[in-house]
Chain A
Amino acid sequence: EAGVTQFPSHSVIEKGQTVTLRCDPISGHDNLYWYRRVMGKEIKFLLHFVKESKQDESGMPNNRFLAERTGGTYSTLKVQPAELEDSGVYFCASRQQGQETQYFGPGTRLLVL
C-alpha cells in the first residue's frame, strides 16, 4: 500500500511568488491534515479536511494560505504571495475514519528568498 506522498519535495521561490504544494493521502483515508514546521520550532497544525470539507482550519496563519481538497482525494495548499516567514517544511498526514493514527508524508521543504 502506498503511503502519503507530497510534491514537490523541495521548492525555492522568491518573496511575492506563488507556490502550490500537493498531498496525496493513503487511498481510502477520509481525513487529511496539513502541518508546518518553521526552522527549529515545533510542528504546527494548519488544517484538517474530512473528505472535501474543512473540518478545522484554525491553524492557518493568514489569508495568503488557501487549502483545497476537491473531490475528497488529493489536497493542495497554495501560498500567495509567499513571504520570507513562510519558509519551512510542510507536512501532510492522512487518517482512516475510526482509527487514531495519522500517517505522514515526507514533507515539502519550502524556502522563500
Chain B
Amino acid sequence: AQSVTQPDIHITVSEGASLELRCNYSYGATPYLFWYVQSPGQGLQLLLKYFSGDTLVQGIKGFEAEFKRSQSSFNLRKPSVHWSDAAEYFCAVANTRNDMRFGAGTRLTVKP
C-alpha cells in the first residue's frame, strides 16, 4: 500500500532564508508525486508534480522538488522564502489508477 510521510509537522524560517520540506513515500513502483499548498482559508493549490523524466522539477512561486528514488524522497525546496509562503504544505503520491494518498502536512511559519 502506498503511504506518505512528512516528518516535520511545523517549520519556522526567517524571511529570505532557504527552505526544505521533507517527504518520503512508500510505493512499489515509480509513483506520481505532488506537492500542494494550502494557504489560510484557501483550497489546495498544486505547486508541482513529478511523473517521469528529469528528477528535478520546477513549480510555481519559485519552488522546486527533487525525486530521489534511492531514498524514496521528494523534498520541496525554495532558495529564499517570502512572508507570503506561510501556509501548510502537503506531499502526495498517486498510483497509476490515480489513487492519491497525502502526508499529514507541514505547517510553515515565516519570521520577519
Contact = CB atoms under 8 A, between A and B. Distances in A.
Interface in A61-113: 91, 93, 95, 100-107
A42 B25 CA distance: 14
A42 B100 contact: no
A100 B102 contact: no
B101 interface: yes
Nearest to A106: B43
Nearest to A109: B41
Interface residues of A, number: 24
A9 to B, nearest CB: 9
A42 B102 contact: yes
A104 B36 contact: yes
B11 to A, nearest CB: 16
Interface of A is mostly: strand
Interface of B is mostly: strand
Interface size class of B (residues with CB under 8 A): 20 to 34
B98 A31 contact: yes
A32 to B, nearest CB: 12
Contacts of B42: 106
B51 interface: yes
Chain A CB within 10 A, most for which of B36, B102, B104 = B102
Given A43-B90, A91-B43, A100-B98, 7 more contacts: A4-B43, A35-B102, A42-B104, A101-B34, A102-B100, A104-B45, A107-B44
23 contacts: A4-B43, A6-B43, A33-B100, A42-B4, A42-B102, A43-B90, A43-B92, A43-B102, A43-B105, A44-B102, A45-B101, A48-B99, A91-B44, A93-B44, A100-B32, A100-B49, A100-B98, A102-B94, A102-B98, A102-B100, A104-B44, A105-B43, A107-B43
